[in-house]
């Protein structure tokens, strides 16, 4: 566990001077923070919370290097709260109890708040997360969790209900440019004392390699500058070619013009949708060779299986899940074949976005009509009072009828005539469409 009082963060010392550039350049107040304008801009949620001194428990969800830890520290500094940080990888319930006792002491003796920052909160098990609940609810601690994983699946529901999930986005090129330029010019915390020269195009190239990750951008900058900082002043000119050679492994993620990771995944996705297995394999290999996370590719294929193939071939989702499990089980390089198999399967599968479109129509309908009541005949009736109120009355048990089907309405009356899922007749959807057409005819005739 790491305890940090924000009032002592700017005292200097060898430890801070020797820290990585990304650590030294962390902003200390909100006015210095770059990025996440949807949260920190004028009139936005976090800025209002600070101005009104009503900071709440929250979970930052965003990719690596999106400023989760930095923003948590800034919030603590702005509220003059004590900042306690520990990693879910290294800490457990014992450490949580120690923090709770410290929070009680701070509240009783100094009337100060304690902000508990938990990095990688998704790694805490249910028991560990449960330990926070009463203290978050009582307001004894303000919990700020950070995670790169979807909180809906990794954080327990009671904790989610007591905290706001705030999504942090990858930094834009312009935001990273600002950070890099600050680091180059800052003589106290940054690299300004080395008087290194970098053209704007070179800085932009270095920024593109970071792919929205501020830590990566600053770490790469520090690595490049370290190679010229001891040269004579006239030779401290860093070119794009120099950056490319110095960061050769990282540069494999992109072509010589700085092609972004998002372009590659887009090309892969569109090749699958366009039923081109050759192109799908090519873009897959490009990403794997460049060092892309194979599990990221697997996640994208799983999404594609439901969005672009859907019920035209329900087996596509099974194949993609199997590929993900196979890669997770055997790793590289053998696991690449499982990903390639899934890619070819998706590319050659019949396509239908009827499932994706149908879900979108349902969401739009809910926005327009709100939460309509469940029809009485399909409500559960576990008590006598509910039965007296006609819960479950006249419900028809499908298995009592031929082919396990009988005409019956399941949608709220107000939208009973609406149709959301509209199969296109591709692949297995042809079978589904025939069944649905037969059921519709039966419903209209009032029979089975």
Task: Return d(Cα 351, Cα 313) in angstroms, integer.
Answer: 8
- Kindly list the domain boundaries of the chain, sorted by start residue: 2-167, 173-251, 261-348, 373-445
- Its sign, for the CA torsion 438, 443, 446, 448, is positive
Q: Which CATH superfamily is domain 2-167 in?
A: P-loop containing nucleotide triphosphate hydrolases (3.40.50.300)
User: How many other CB atoms are found less than 10 A from the CB of residue 173?
Assistant: 16
Task: Return d(Cα 438, Cα 448) in angstroms, integer.
Answer: 9
Cα→Cα distances 174→203, 223, 296, Å: 10, 21, 25
Sequential pLDDT tens for the chain (448 residues): 444 443 334 444 555 567 889 999 999 888 899 999 999 999 898 999 888 888 899 999 988 889 999 999 898 888 877 888 877 666 666 777 888 888 888 887 777 788 888 888 888 888 888 888 888 888 888 889 998 888 888 888 888 888 999 999 999 999 999 999 999 999 999 999 999 999 999 999 999 888 889 999 999 999 899 888 888 888 889 998 888 877 764 444 444 333 457 788 889 999 999 999 999 999 999 888 877 788 889 999 999 999 999 999 999 999 999 999 998 888 878 889 999 999 999 999 999 999 999 999 999 998 888 888 888 888 888 888 888 888 888 888 889 888 888 888 888 988 888 889 888 888 998 898 888 888 888 887 765 5
CATH fold match for the domains 173-251 and 373-445: no
Task: Return d(Cα 251, Cα 228) in angstroms, integer.
Answer: 19
The domain 173-251 is classified under which CATH number: 3.40.50.150, 2.60.40.10, 1.25.10.10, 1.10.8.60? Answer: 1.10.8.60
Residue range 373-445 forms a domain whose CATH class is: mainly alpha
Name, in order, each residue with C-beta under 8 angstroms of 28's C-beta and a sequence gap of 6 or more.
9, 10, 73, 74, 77
For domain 261-348, give the CATH number. 1.20.272.10
Contact (Cβ atoms closer than 8 angstroms) between residue 63 and residue 146: no
- Its sign, for the CA torsion 310, 313, 318, 320, is negative
């Amino acid at each position: 566990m790491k305890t940090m009082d924000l009032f002592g963060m700017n005292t200097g010392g060898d430890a801070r001077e020797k820290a990585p550039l990304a650590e030294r350049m962390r902003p200390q107040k909100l006015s210095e923070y770059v990025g996440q304008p949807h949260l920190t801009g004028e009139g936005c949620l976090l800025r209002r919370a600070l101005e009104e001194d009503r900071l709440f428990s929250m979970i930052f969800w965003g990719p690596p290097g999106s400023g989760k830890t930095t923003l948590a520290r800034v919030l603590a500094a702005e509220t003059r709260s004590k900042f306690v940080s520990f990693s879910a990888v290294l800490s457990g319930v014992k450490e949580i109890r120690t923090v709770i006792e410290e929070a009680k002491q701070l509240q009783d003796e100094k009337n100060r708040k304690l902000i508990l920052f938990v990095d990688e909160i998704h790694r805490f098990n249910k028991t560990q997360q449960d330990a926070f609940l009463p203290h978050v609810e009582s307001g004894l601690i303000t919990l700020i969790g950070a995670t790169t994983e979807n909180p809906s699946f990794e954080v327990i529901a009671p904790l989610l209900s007591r905290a706001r999930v705030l999504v942090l986005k990858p930094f834009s090129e312009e935001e990273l440019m600002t950070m890099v330029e600050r680091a180059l010019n800052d003589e106290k915390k940054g690299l300004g004392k080395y008087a290194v020269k970098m053209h704007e195009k070179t800085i932009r190239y270095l920024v593109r390699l970071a792919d929205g990750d501020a830590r990566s951008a600053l770490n790469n900058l520090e690595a490049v500058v370290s190679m010229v900082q001891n040269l004579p002043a006239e030779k401290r000119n860093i070119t794009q070619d120099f950056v490319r050679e110095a960061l050769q492994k990282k540069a494999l993620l992109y072509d010589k013009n700085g092609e972004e990771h998002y372009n590659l995944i887009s090309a892969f996705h569109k090749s699958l949708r366009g039923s081109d297995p050759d192109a799908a394999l090519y873009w897959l290999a490009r990403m794997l060779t460049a060092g892309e996370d194979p599990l990221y590719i697997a996640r994208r294929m799983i999404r594609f299986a439901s969005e672009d193939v859907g019920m035209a071939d329900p087996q596509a989702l099974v194949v993609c899940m199997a590929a993900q499990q196979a890669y997770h089980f055997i790793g590289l390089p053998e696991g690449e074949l499982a990903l390639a198999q899934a890619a070819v399967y998706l590319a050659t599968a019949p396509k239908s976005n009827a499932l994706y479109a149908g879900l979108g129509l349902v969401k739009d309908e809910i926005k327009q009509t709100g939460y309509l009541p469940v029809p009485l005949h399909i409500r559960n009736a576990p008590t006598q009072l509910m039965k007296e109120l006609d819960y479950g009355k006249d419900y028809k048990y499908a298995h009592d009828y031929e082919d396990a089907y009988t005409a019956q309405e399941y949608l709220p009356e107000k939208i009973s005539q609406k149709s959301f899922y509209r199969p296109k007749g591709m692949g297995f959807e042809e079978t589904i469409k025939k069944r649905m057409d037969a059921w519709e005819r039966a419903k209209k005739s009032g029979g089975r």
